[in-house]
Amino acid sequence: MQAILALEDGRVFRGKSFGARAECSGEVVFNTSLTGYQEIFTDPSYAGQIVVLTNPHIGNYGTTPSDAESKKPFIEGLVTREFSPMSSNWRSTQVADEYLERYGVPVIAEIDTRAVVRHLRANGVMRGVIASGENLDVDALVAKARAIKKMEGTDLASVVSTKVAYEWDANEPKNQTGDSLLTAAVEGDVKQMHVVAYDFGIKENILRMLTRENCRVTVVPAKTSAADVLAMEPDGVFFSNGPGDPEPLEYAVENVKQLQGKAPIFGICLGHQIFGLALGGKTYKLKFGHHGGNHPIMNHQTGKVEITAQNHNFAVDPKSLDEKTVEKTHTNLNDQTLAGLKHKTDPMFSVQYHPEASPGPHDSHYLFKDFRKMMEEWKK
């Protein structure tokens, strides 16, 4: 069946329909990861977005519950060069086509994704619509794309967040990494730490990595008050990744201010942006965002370059931060954007990328160990 991707500037791409035979809309972004498409499908940070995958062949190894980063896909739609109708992998439990159809996610394939990406890089991310069927009204689809609510000013974190607090069950088999290439987990006679994690769209591998450092993790809804979190007597508080613009999240910014200096706090991606706002900084939207598993980051504390996984559309303006109180710890070497910060006196730090990866490299896993060390030092 024919499918169309219509962008708000009038550019139209024609291809073949896979997945759900449905219409979807959202901001169109591209991801340069070579593997890990199911983890990308299920990353809640992609809520409100249609994802273009630059790797030309998608779906060939199927899907498995073990690779999901949440309970369901959060992408609005998928754009690929080739989409495999079959899977060839002993781990696969369902082909990708059936998996996305099951959750109502439309796919457009057999189009020139290189042309789509070049268009987005040159003109910036833009709103778009995927539709399937015969005799589609292209002008109407372009008009729909132009009518989509913009990402700026939109609070999507509270939409994707858990509605009730829960304890992460580290003993359940699917909640364990099973990855022999990971750095050694904390073992032996070490005190278990209690971490309260704010869910703005948290990826499950973050929870796995925290439990590998012998942390008991309680996940709470995005709008949980700082007072309620402190009442849980945490050893540390974590602020997760998530979708949308950080500026509307005034409740989260206020919680950081209330928790600062009262417990060690660690933020990733959207959590990093929230930290920046709480510390008096400003955020802005990137031209086409950072989405992929191969972004080089300079760690100014070690002088080493880390290859990182990233997925965000907004960044913290480093010039807006007070250098007397905030240290800039990491820089993105592709465009010199701020990629990490820490407070000079209070126990808080954050990064603009995904140290848990999934998919992606393991270069930055040490940050979870740093968080544990910070909690240990705080308790002394």
Q: Phi first, then psi: give them for residue 209, nearest 5 degrees.
A: -65, -35
Q: Does residue 135 surpass a pLDDT of 70?
A: yes
Percent of the chain with pLDDT over 90: 92
For residues 261-285, give the mean pLDDT. Answer: 98
For residues 220-235, give the mean pLDDT. Answer: 98
Q: How many CB atoms lie within 10 A of CB 34?
A: 12
At residue 170 the predicted structure's pLDDT band, cuts being 50, 70 and 90, is confident
Instruction: Average the pLDDT over each of 86-100, 128-142, 173-187, 200-214 and give the range with the smallest value.
Output: 173-187
In DSSP terms, which residues pair with 131 in a beta bridge? 4
User: Which residue of the set 290, 291, 330, 354 is catalytic?
Assistant: 354
Mean pLDDT (the chain) is 95
Whole-angstrom distance, CA of residue 37 vs CA of residue 33: 8
Q: Does residue 184 surpass a pLDDT of 80?
A: no
Whole-angstrom distance, CA of residue 279 vs CA of residue 267: 13
Q: Helices marked H in the chain — which ranges? A: 37-41, 96-102, 113-123, 138-147, 157-160, 204-212, 226-231, 250-259, 270-278, 366-379
Half-sphere exposure of 168 (CA within 13 A, CB side): 30
8 Å CB contact between 217 and 287: no
User: Which residue of the set 269, 272, 291, 295 is catalytic?
Assistant: 269
| Active-site residue, 269 included | yes
Whole-angstrom distance, CA of residue 199 vs CA of residue 134: 41
For residues 105-114, give the mean pLDDT. Answer: 98
For residues 203-214, give the mean pLDDT. Answer: 95
- So what's the pLDDT on residue 173? 64
Instruction: Average the pLDDT over each of 29-33, 39-43, 184-188, 240-244 and give the range with the smallest value.
Output: 184-188
For residues 251-269, give the mean pLDDT. Answer: 98
Residue 285 class from Cβ within 10 Å (0-12 exposed, 13-18 middle, 19+ buried)? middle
Whole-angstrom distance, CA of residue 321 vs CA of residue 189: 40
Count of helix runs (H) and strand runs (E) in the chain: 10, 19
What is the value of pTM for the model shown?
0.95
Tens-place pLDDT, residues 144-155 = 999 999 999 999
- The set of residues, in sequence order, having a beta carbon less than 8 Å from that of 223 and lying 6+ positions away, is 158, 161, 251
At residue 187 the predicted structure's pLDDT band, cuts being 50, 70 and 90, is low
